[in-house]
Amino acid sequence: MSRRTVPLTLDNLDGLPSGCRRCLFWELDPVRRQRLDDDESVEQKQAWLSEVLRDWGSCGRVALVDDEPVGHVVWAPTRYVPGASNFPTAPVSPDAVLLTTAYVDPEWRGHGIGRLLIQGLAKDLIKRGDVQAVEAFASTRSGPFGHCVVPQGFLASVGFKTHRTHPVHPRMRMEIRSMLTWKDEVELAIERVLGVVRPKSPAPKAAPGGLPPARSGLGRSGLGR
């Protein structure tokens, strides 16, 4: 069973759950959201994704198990997410991007898919080199924003820490520096699986007189015997 993440694009947007494809909680202000029907909402979601990809870069990851989508995350600078201004712990720090969505299919929850998605997010942001942190408005319980807000428990489990407290919607933050550790661990694990990392050979002992030992088939001058 293969598990991996791929960038969120217009080509794989249709693989997301229907509710997620038309949800514009973050992408539009409440007044504009209410004016759109379902078909218009889907078109607006596509337009939003196209704009962010074109003007800023990668802003999401889709988790695949045997090439079937089972979850996704979305993030962006706050200038692309007007819905963020509705939270009591706004605004997001100027050196951070905002994690808006983290969704995993119910049957795959508890199987490490969420952590896999956050690792994919980390790799994308590390490659950019111009983002210091990721922040998210968390939900401590069922609140007025429903399922559009990431649960605090999940964020804490993958490395986020409370940056500004609130009884219902604290703002949480994860530094890019902490993501670097994840990146190194993941790459090292992959290298070990592929057999790239091997134990180092012990250093050769010096020959009598302090000279390095001769290699097999060669004299100390480097010429064949």
Return the pLDDT at 141: 82
pLDDT tens digits, one per residue of 36-95? 999 999 999 999 999 999 999 999 999 999 999 999 999 999 999 999 999 999 999 999
Helices H, strands E: what count in the chain?
A: 6, 8
Return the pLDDT at 196: 55
Given a contact cutoff of 8 angstroms between Cβ atoms, the answer to whether 11 and 60 are in contact is no
**Selection from 223, 125, 216, 218 nearest residue 179 by Cα:** 125
- Please tell me the pTM assigned to this model: 0.79
Instruction: Tell me the average confidence (pLDDT) per consecutive run of 10 residues in the chain, 225 residues long.
Output: 95 95 94 95 97 98 97 98 95 97 94 94 90 96 71 95 96 87 63 57 48 40 35
Domain boundaries, the chain: 3-194
Assess whether the previous peptide bond of 91 is cis (omega < 30° from 0): yes
Contacts of 118 (CB under 8 A, 6+ apart): 73, 102, 158, 159, 182
Separation of alpha carbons 16 and 38, rounded Å: 15
Separation of alpha carbons 24 and 99, rounded Å: 14
Domain 3-194 has CATH 3.30.460.80: no
Return the pLDDT at 192: 62
State the DSSP code for 69. Answer: E
Return the pLDDT at 186: 67
**Selection from 1, 3, 2, 19 nearest residue 119 by Cα:** 3
Separation of alpha carbons 219 and 207, rounded Å: 13
Given a contact cutoff of 8 angstroms between Cβ atoms, the answer to whether 47 and 22 are in contact is no
Q: What are phi and psi of 130, to 5 degrees?
A: -120, 15
Return the pLDDT at 169: 94
